[in-house]
Structure 1
Amino acid sequence: MNEPSATTIARELEDQTVREQQDLRGLLAGTWGRIRSGDLGALPVLAGLLIIAVIFQSLNSNFLSPANLVNLLLQSAAVGVIALGIVCVLLVGQIDLSVGSVSGLAAACFATLFVKQGWPLVFAVVGAVAVGAAIGWVYGQVFNRFGVPSFVITLGGLLGFLGLQLFVLGPSGTINLPYDSWLVQFGQLDFVPAWLSYVLVVAASGGYFVSQWLLARERRRRRLIAKSVQVMTVQAVVLLVALLFAVWYLNQSRGVGWMFVFFVALVLVMNYALTRTSWGRHVFAVGGSVEAARRAGINVRRIYTSVFVICSTLAAVGGLLAAGRIAAASQSSGTGDVNLNAIAAAVIGGTSLFGGRGSAFSALLGILVIQSISSGLILLNLSSSLRFMVTGAVLVLAVMVDSLSRRSRTEHGRG
């Protein structure tokens, strides 16, 4: 039996996309078609979160309690921000193994400048974040000019910046932050007022609808396929209902922490940059094929430098959030499982290790999976060794799903 030609496959995909954008029946059919062809999107992660919730809730009824979920979200923010930077690096097919050390160094620099040197908090924050950005720039220069693999560069950075962190902290090894400082308050005690949380949810849903409508209008102007108003309305309403319920449930306890809101805001900004700007298109192009991107006129070196700078900068920001969360910078800041969790979150959330596929929301979904596993095991009074084993197994499973999805997409002409 003859295999369908590339033209036939392309025509079928285009017809399917047209049906999908017209009405709800087409949307459901198109979604099912993408799943069958291996384009799973966030489905494996959402299914994993559901399974985790069911298992741990059946073993401990406190897992889905509002108080535990509030803590879970707060614990997710710092490493989630670091994972967001990892997503950018993975999209171009590279890796950064030093994000934990960079986050710890940034925390140490901030604590030294703020507590020991007496700098104003804003200047101390800017200085610590600038250290992270400078590290990323150095990575980019070494990678572009000397061709040293990013694995080797950042592995050296992991060791070197860990030593520099210990040097900055000094003999004491720990610098406590004042409990009345803004960063500590932000990390531990600042929550969104209930009424404002509902306003933000409505604004987010409305913003989603407006952005989709503007995108559809622009696509129609260019005579391209675009979503119908019916489809956009249903998606916005579903998003609104889901977010309203989540916020209402969290408000039964302390509510939504500002630190988690900050993390989500960074995810939205990065998602816009990756999907609606020329820089984002260039990132995906480089991740898909470096040579093709170079021949298309893309400044590949600049793209590599930009993602390294963003990754290290976000690592520094995550280190500051972690320091505010525990009100201290110490020798253990950025060590332990920070690297593991940040990289695993990006991959588990759906970012491909092969480059060219993923989204900013991968960091959000992935860190929720990891933090849910950690929270559930803590509630069951199980050892941290089991948490490492479970997280490692989930990471391997995520890579296997990605590999199988790539193979299926290629076979169906979606590669």
Structure 2
Amino acid sequence: MRDSLSITDVRPWGSAPVDLVIENGTVAAVSAAAGSPVPAGEHVDGAGRLILPALSDVHLHLDSSRLGLPFRAQTGLPGRWGRIMNDRQNWRSAERSVAERASFTLAVAVANGATRIRSHAQVDADTGLTKLEGELAARERYADVCDVEIVAFPQVGILLEPGVIDLMDAALSAGADLVGGMDPCELDRDPVRHLDAVFGLAEKHQVGVDIHLHEAGELGLFTLSLILDRVRALGMTGLATISHARCLASGLPGVPAMIEELAEFDVALTHAAGAQGWALPLLDLAAAGVRVGVGMDGQRDYWSPYGNGDMLDRAWQLAFVNGYGSDQQVEHALGVATWGGASVIDRSLRPLDGTDPHPGFAVGDPAEFFLVDAVSPTSAVMDRPAERTVIHRGRLISVDTAIEGFEIPGRWGREGT
């Protein structure tokens, strides 16, 4: 028996109203809205609302999130190391456990329309596998409403403390999906040994890599070239992601050639809608066919006061920091936050390359959608209406965000809670 869902009178990317037929989690048919009798089976009446590909948060730290807890003043020293140590000094005193905090953050993300998540779980000599275990518990709790990938993430480096490589190995055996890395030159000061460890674990466990690369300018381009050398040598086309890739925001002469190489080896990029000095050349990346997604990163944690669990809000931030004003540009930012991120996680999906500015509604596409009452994609990004209808794997889903000890922040929590 086929699982089926009909979605009637919806406007994909603001186009003319259509009816959708979903079977076994994929789009089976798209036709002009007919106003005919509703077919048998589960049905969603779109009532003329906008329908978009589901949001994708592909750079998240569920284990460090304090979303929904009392707002905390920033106490970390300036710089990356100061924030790393601030997290280490304070995470155990959080009002709720890692599993509880990760679960609430995940629930809010899904309720807002994100059905694909990639989260980094910190693994180091201080935390051991505790944070990974918390994220695994949250993933299991919400397995029916979203797909979550977890990266074993060495936030304090791989070489600075003893036993980290073994812990990373154990994390991958325990359920992490990818192996991470962190600034091989600036942090560990030994990019060869760092990357040998990362790619050695990837080869051993037959998994992909997702490496944090905050390193700027020529140093970052150098490190990126070392990563690409290993992707090429190990035949890992389509299995690597670079998080942040700040060096590509430098405007240096070597950036265009690096973008072409990223496209050649299908190396994806994820980032957090960074401002000056961090804003990626999104349109150039799309023109080259590089997969790009965006995420919330840390949320109200020991690194940053930003984040609210709504990836539509992050799409607004992405458009804003890039100076986007036209509908086409804003829709591209929204595309990065939806289909772009989906294509980072699922490499069978075509990248957001500009040839199809409104993806997600062809026959055979995955039925991952959200509906919102907005005139157009641009108005949806500007207004971010709170009410969303979410479709995951071809099924209408709902998530209860009423978790004891947590409160949805700001205007998102004032209705229906």
* Common topology (TM > 0.5): no
TM bucket normalised to smaller: under 0.3
- Larger Rg, first or second structure (1 or 2): 1
Q: TM-score, normalised by structure 1?
A: 0.22
Greater share of strand: 2
